[in-house]
A and B are shown apart, each in its own frame.
Chain A
Amino acid sequence: MVVFKKPHALSDVPLHYCPGCTHGIVHRLVAEVIDELGIEGKTIGIAPVGCSVMAYNYFECDMIEAAHGRAPAVATGVKRANPDNIVFTYQGDGDLASIGTAETVHSAARNENITVIFINNAIYGMTGGQMAPTSLPGQVTQTSPYGRDVNLCGYPVKICEMLAQLDGPEYLERVTVNNVKQIKNAKRAIKKAFQNQIDGKGFSLIEVISSCPTNWGMTPQAALKWIDEKMIPYYPLGVYKDRSAEKKEDKQ
């Protein structure tokens, strides 16, 4: 009996990510969810700019490459033109939380019926480890060699908390993938985000706290530990908004 094998929706090509990068895990979880929901033939993915820019090579569904940060805007167009298709974006923090903040906030406020997978690794990976909007206070990066100075650079952007203030979005959850238990939990969250779209409920965003061993300057093992020690205290995991559940509670 096969207990585990590569999901069909994940292409059979080597991923270009650095050793130990958790992007690969999240790619696989998305592909597994697409397989389980049986939506490979009608799913359209929107790839971002950043490390995951070549995500279009890694999924067997149709993919579109969006301009930097504009994935939710492209997804909005695709979904409105083809409401029967399942549309998801896969974006990093430099894409979604920096140049694409406007697109993210407004597509959430409009409650567009799309699924957003947001990879937060607190750094710009592809360009060589510069400070990102999500870098932690005091975090050493290429452009903050003495640690992020909050007096000079301000504080990190907490996307889930920020979007939870809006009445628009249907579902917001922050998960991580630094151990097996958390990976299973992340898969459940991603599946819910896709199911919400199939049910026509609206905007779902799953923020995945990820590691960047290369630019954090750590071994893959130390990077996963650093997520537990530094990232999660600043970015607490959990569901930030679940409008359907809130409505049910109101009725009771």
Chain B
Amino acid sequence: MNKLTFRTDNCKGCGLCVDVCPKKVLALAEDVINKKGHHPVTAVNPEACIACAFCATMCPDCIIEVEKGV
């Protein structure tokens, strides 16, 4: 199982990670508003994660940490 950790309060909801994910793991949480006033990213399909770290590579705010085989 691969693990994604988000520093949710720093997320600006740009959605670049959502688009770059090859397995459609991520989505913006439309029902949540973080401290900055954005809809933060969340893992809607975490089992599908292959720990490629494309999301973290693309994230301009460096909020994603990726762990493989936890």
Contacts and interface: CB of A to CB of B under 8 A. Distances in A.
B12 to A, nearest CB: 4
Interface string A176-193: 000110011000000000
B60 A21 contact: yes
Interface string A1-30: 111111100100011011111111100100
Contact of A221 (B15, B67, B69): B15
Interface string A67-89: 00000000000000000000000
Given A14-B10, A19-B38, A5 B65 contact: yes
Residue picked from A5, A23, A213, most chain B C-beta under 10 Å? A5
B44 interface: no
B56 interface: yes
B22 to A, nearest CB: 10
A15 B63 CA distance: 11
Interface residues of B, number: 28
Contact of A220 (B16, B62, B65): B16
Nearest to B36: A14
Given A3-B68, A180-B57, A183-B57, A28 B20 contact: no
B14 interface: yes
A24 B61 CA distance: 6
Residue picked from B2, B12, B19, B36, most chain A C-beta under 10 Å? B12
Contacts, number: 73
Contact of B66 (A2, A18, A19): A2
A224 interface: yes
Contacts of A224: 16
Interface string B30-64: 00000010100000000000010110111111101
B19 to A, nearest CB: 6
Interface in A17-63: 17-25, 28
Nearest to A15: B61
B68 A1 contact: yes
Nearest to B56: A4
Contact of B57 (A1, A4, A213, A220): A4
Given A20-B14, A180-B57, 20 more contacts: A3-B2, A3-B51, A3-B66, A6-B65, A14-B9, A14-B10, A15-B10, A19-B12, A19-B13, A20-B12, A20-B15, A20-B60, A21-B60, A24-B59, A24-B61, A183-B58, A213-B14, A220-B14, A220-B15, A224-B16
Interface of B: 2, 9-10, 12-16, 19-20, 36, 38, 51, 53-54, 56-62, 64-69
